[in-house]
Structures are given as structure tokens and as C-alpha cells.
Amino acid sequence: LKLSSSSSSLSSMHQHQEEKKSDETPIGANDMKRKAVDGKIVLETLDRIIAVHSIEMSTRQQPQQEKICNALHSSIASLRREHVLVIERHRDILEECGLLDIDRFIRVSHPADYHSRQDEDGISCLLQDYTQIRDAMRRRAHKISMIHRQNALFELLSEQTSTNTDSSITPRPHLAQLKNIQYTLSTIQNFVNKYRSNIGSHPFMAGLHRIVNLQLNPEPNSERSRKDPSYIVRWKFRGSVLTEACRSCHGKDNENEGDELAYAREAIQILFSFLVWVNGVDVEAGGSIISMEEDELGLDNIICSSSKQSNNWTCKEHVEPYLSFEIDKHISNANLRRILAVLPDPKLLDARATGAVEVLDTSESDLVPRKNVDGHEDEQW
């Protein structure tokens, strides 16, 4: 996320961008954080230079009242002091990007000089070039951050999956056991109390309510019965619902501030407390991306891959991850009603349910029926 320091290096910057597009090497978390910090310093510095340029041009082009003129000069002085302080801390990165000297973006000399050419609005062509690259870098930084959060999301999902399948770890809690269903109810209730005040969480909460409600109450025109073990509802939704939609969700007391994945982590805990993450077919323990065409939900498809040996996930650019979940096979309808009771009523939420739900076709050969619909395995309440 670096801006180059001369006209020749501006060209090399564009070439560097093209090379980046073909580079599919996963971006390390530490490297990504370092680039993000450097990029933020550079972009903030360029914003400061643009502000100084804008105020300078304003004072030169239009006569101002003395009071206003003094205020403008005071603003310029304050911005220049900030610039000096930033140089003291980050001289190397600013020197490499050619952002040490504010005045070279403002002063006017011979029009043939690249560094002082002015367009008809009096804006430095050099500053324009830097501004264009700044905008391009911001777009790229946004994409890199999204990819990083997507990869982090799949690491969280993989951790949950490995916990449920690793024979050396205690098996997944049986949702027919009283203590486990009580724990699930408590976890959901705490999550709702913590995040309900933030509208970014409402699509996810409404989605949870919709899958449980549809599992308990088939559509009126459906010939399926809630008591039918082969009646299974699947919920598909974008991974960004967990990583992007509620990045500012810090809870009621801001206890998660500074941890941009805190909400995703707790939402995944809710999902795995009574749902199973599934593959394109109904696989109880494990998970993958549901491959969906662009025209199916009107959004770009994601291409995510995992290494079975390292359990590492990487996501390419210009793509969007989709997840798919179903009701755990061992939870009864009675306990689903208890879960529905602690989820907020969608009518009281300020957003519609995210994703799409579908009833699975009983003709699917890999369909695994529910095993405890009537609650015969449940411990007594």
C-alpha cells in the first residue's frame, strides 16, 4: 500500500498493481497488518496534503475577510505541524512515497515542469496522480481486508469442525441431554442480549428464527409434516453476514472493541450450538462452500479452497463465500420450540432475515434424516 515518489515510479506503481493481480500467494496475517498500518499512514498523509492544498488555493483565489483568512492560515499551520510529527515517526515510509515535502504539491513554477503543472482548476497534476493512486490503493486495501477476514472466518469454522470431529477431543454435545440444551439456550440468550441493540446483527438473528420456525412449521401448501424425520430445512447465507455486516458490533459495554472478529466468533458459536455446517450434500460433521451461480442470488460467487493437511483456507478476489447450515439431527422439536422462544421475534427487528432457506428433496440419496424429532431421546425437564 505504497505510493511512489516520482513520475517514473508512478508508472512502476501501476505495473506493480498489475503484478499483484496475478499473485495468488495467500497474504499472511502479519504482513497484511503491516501493510495496513503503512497504508493508513500514507493515505492519511495524502489527505492532509490535499487539505493544505485546498485551503492554500482558496486563500489565493478568493479574497477573504481578515477573520476568515486568519482561521484558514491557522488550519494550515495546524496541518503542517501534524505533518512534521508524522515525519518524525514515519520518515522512511513517507520519503519512499515522496510525501515528505508538502510544498512541492502546492508551489507553482514553470508549466512544463511535471511537478507543478496545473489544470484549468488550479489543481496540481502531480497531486491528481497521487490522488488517483490513493483511491486505487484504498479500493485494494478494502479488498485485501475482506479477503483476510474471509480467511479468518474459515479458520474459525475449521476450528469448530475439527473440535467436533477430532477423536482425541470430547465428542459434540448430544442435544438430547438437558445440560447441553440448557447451555445452548443460555448462549443464544446472551448473544441476543449483547448484540440486539446493533442493527447489523438483525439479519442474522432473523435468519436463525426463520430456519427454526420453518423446521417446526412447514409452509401451509406443503405436503410435508413437522414430524417427518426426512423433512429438513437448509439455510444458505453469505459469509460476509458474519465478517462485514456487524464489524462495529462491540456489545452493550464495548467489551469487544479492537477485535473485529469477536462478533463472527460468537455468531459461529451460536450456529454450531444447534446447527451443522454442511457440504453440497448432507454431511453431518464437516463443511464446505455451497457453490452458487451468480444469477441464483444475484451476487458474485466465491472460490475458496482448503488444504486437508493444514486446514488452511484461502479466498481469491472478486468472490463471495456462502455457507450452508441445517438443524442438528439429534435435537427434538420440543427443544427447537425452546430455542425459538429465546430468539427475538422478526417483527421486532429492523432488518429482514439474511440468506435463503430451502426444504431438501427426500429423493436425495445422501439425505440423513433427523433422529429425535419426537424427543424420545430427550432427558426429562
How is 88-106 classified by DSSP, letter by letter? HHHHHHHHHTT-S-SGGGT
Mean pLDDT over each residue of the chain, to the nearest integer: 75
Alpha helix stretches (DSSP H) within 109-239: 125-165, 178-195, 202-216
Q: Per-residue pLDDT for 122 more than 60?
A: no
The DSSP code for 229 is T
- The region of weakest confidence among 76-85, 117-126, 128-137, 211-220 is 117-126
Looking at the DSSP assignment, which residues form a beta bridge with residue 315?
Answer: 304
Q: Per-residue pLDDT for 297 more than 90?
A: no
Burial letters 255-291, b for 16+ CB under 10 A, else e: ebeeebbbbbbbbbebbbbbbbbbeeebebeebbbbe
Following CA atoms 58, 61, 67, 73 in sequence, which dihedral angle do they give, to the nearest 10 degrees? 50
The DSSP code for 238 is E
Looking at the DSSP assignment, which residues form a beta bridge with residue 235?
Answer: 325, 357
List C-alpha distances in Å: 202 to 208, 275, 321, 337, 352.
10, 19, 20, 20, 7
pLDDT of residue 347: 95
Looking at the DSSP assignment, which residues form a beta bridge with residue 327?
Answer: 275
Looking at the DSSP assignment, which residues form a beta bridge with residue 324?
Answer: 236
The DSSP code for 173 is P
pLDDT of residue 127: 75
- What is the longest distance spanned by two Cα atoms in the chain? 89
Q: Provide the percentage of residues in the chain whose pLDDT is more than 70.
A: 68
Mean pLDDT, residues 313-324: 61
Mean pLDDT, residues 125-149: 76
Q: What is the pLDDT of residues 18-33, one digit of tens each?
A: 444 444 444 455 676 7
pLDDT of residue 66: 80
Mean pLDDT, residues 42-57: 86
User: What is residue 304's three-state secondary structure?
Assistant: strand
Q: List, as one string, the DSSP characters of 36-69.
A: HHHHHHHHHHHHHHHHHHHHHHHHHHS---HHHH
pLDDT of residue 5: 42
pLDDT of residue 13: 42
Nearest C-alpha neighbor of 278 from the set 211, 214, 226: 211
Mean pLDDT, residues 67-83: 90
Select the more confidently predicted residue: 273 or 31. Answer: 273
Q: Per-residue pLDDT for 280 more than 50?
A: no
Looking at the DSSP assignment, which residues form a beta bridge with residue 277?
Answer: 325
Mean pLDDT, residues 219-224: 83
Q: Per-residue pLDDT for 134 more than 90?
A: no
pLDDT of residue 253: 58
